[in-house]
């Protein structure tokens, strides 16, 4: 599992040899302060930032890689972990290991990627849907597009802006792979993260007509402000120095930050909402507050349409991160990593099909 340090970084426990030391060596090489290799310097853009290793005071023999929490800046992070490549075993794997990996997902060589897990925020229910490795392994050539598109669906609409931004970031990673012949990656993953809450872009929305004026309770005519349901996870260090947090493989616990909701009731009985780009976060401006408990009847579907509204054209500025993770099986090479390139191209094609259709 991935642990969360109180300083906002994440901690990945070093695996037993040779995997753990190999991954540490990879990070040390890429992030060496004296590195002048343009290929490795460029690679840093696609990895979580590396802050060395860390050990709990009470257990100095336990070693953790200290890494950037890629999800930290998101209010409602949606995460998908996708293993990339035609082979999930390295060149030094035993015959038993190869058979084990192939039997887990026979289509890996043909498709070139495997969904290891996802966590998707659903706007309408203010809840997360989670899928594990079994979900990814159940996908076939015929269902993989729909299986991946599930990650970009927030329960109300397809987030095409996030799909488009993900493609653009993956194409940059693909360009790096096509230009380097130093490293081959096996059983490595891409971590996709996008903002599940309403986008922090300026979107002027038309007026939403309320079928019945009486759905806005009389008691809500004041200027009070309601803070929506917030699930803020604060991880504290226990007395022995260990961090009390653990989640499924490849996924960390996420910070869910505050956002405030406002609304404005016009004298014609209409509701006008405007999403503005503000330094402190998304705010729905108004003089009247509609609390969650009153989002029912005819108001709820109307507000859902507003909150789920996305620009007609996907924008590159969508709040999305795509980072490479898991480097326990990275080896020096003198050829291009064709297996990784193959899988990444296929994943980009699937995303493009989702966007086009």
Strand order in the sheet with 77-84: 127-131, 113-122, 77-84, 188-195, 320-325
Cβ-contact 222, 286 below 8 angstroms: no
Scored b (16 or more CB within 10 A) or e, 75-100 reads: bbbbbbbbbbbbbbbbeebeeeeeee
Instruction: Report pLDDT digits (tens) over 213-259.
Output: 333 333 333 333 233 333 333 334 343 343 333 333 333 333 332 33
Instruction: Report pLDDT digits (tens) over 161-208.
Output: 999 999 999 999 999 999 999 999 999 999 999 999 975 433 333 333
Predicted TM-score (pTM) of the model is 0.70
Ordered structural domains, the chain, with CATH: 1-69 (no CATH), 70-198+318-356 (3.30.470.160)
Is residue 18 reached through a cis peptide bond, with omega within 30 degrees of 0 on the bond before it? Answer: yes
The Cβ of residue 308 has, within 10 Å, a number of other Cβ atoms equal to 15
Give the Cα separation of 354 and 77 in Å (integer). Answer: 21
Question: Where residue 115 falls among pLDDT bands split at 50, 70, 90?
Answer: very high
Rounded percentage of the chain residues whose pLDDT exceeds 90? 65
Q: Residue 13 — left, alpha, or beta (φ > 0 → left; ψ -120 to 50 → alpha)?
A: beta
| Helical axes 338-356 vs 160-178, angle rounded to 10° | 160
Which residues, including other chains, have CB under 8 Å from residue 169's CB and lie 6 or more apart? Answer: 320, 321, 322
């Amino acid at each position: 599992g991935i642990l969360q340090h109180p300083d906002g970084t994440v901690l990945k426990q070093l695996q037993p040899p040779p995997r753990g030391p190999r991954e540490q060596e990879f990070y040390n090489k890429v992030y060496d302060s004296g590195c002048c290799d343009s290929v490795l310097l460029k690679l840093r853009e696609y990895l979580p930032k590396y802050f060395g290793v860390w050990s709990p005071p009470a257990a100095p023999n336990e070693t953790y890689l200290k890494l950037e929490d890629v999800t930290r800046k998101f209010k409602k992070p949606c995460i998908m972990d996708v293993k990339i490549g035609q082979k999930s075993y390295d060149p030094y794997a035993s015959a038993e290991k190869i058979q084990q990996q192939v039997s887990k997902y026979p289509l890996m060589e043909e498709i070139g990627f495997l969904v290891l897990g996802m966590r998707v925020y659903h706007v309408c229910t203010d809840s997360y849907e989670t899928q594990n490795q079994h979900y990814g392994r159940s996908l076939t050539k015929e269902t993989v597009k729909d299986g991946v598109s599930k990650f970009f669906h927030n329960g109300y609409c397809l987030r095409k802006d996030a799909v488009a931004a993900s493609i653009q970031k993956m194409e940059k990673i693909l360009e790096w792979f096509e230009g380097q012949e130093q490293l081959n990656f096996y059983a490595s993953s891409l971590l996709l993260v996008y903002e599940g809450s309403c986008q922090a872009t300026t979107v002027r929305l038309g007026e939403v007509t309320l079928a019945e004026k009486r759905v806005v309770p009389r008691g809500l005519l004041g200027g009070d402000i309601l803070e929506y349901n917030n699930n803020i996870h604060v991880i504290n260090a226990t007395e022995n120095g260990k961090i009390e947090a653990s989640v499924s493989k490849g996924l960390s616990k996420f910070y869910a930050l505050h956002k405030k909701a406002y609304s404005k009731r016009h004298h014609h009985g209409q509701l006008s909402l405007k999403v503005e780009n503000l330094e402190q976060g998304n705010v729905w401006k108004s003089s009247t507050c509609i609390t969650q408990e009153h989002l029912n009847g005819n108001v709820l579907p109307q507000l859902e349409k507003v909150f789920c509204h996305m620009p007609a054209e996907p924008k590159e500025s969508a709040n999305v991160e795509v980072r490479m993770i898991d480097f326990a099986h990275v080896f020096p090479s003198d050829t291009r990593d064709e297996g990784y390139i193959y899988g990444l191209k296929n994943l980009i094609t699937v995303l493009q099909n989702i966007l086009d259709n």
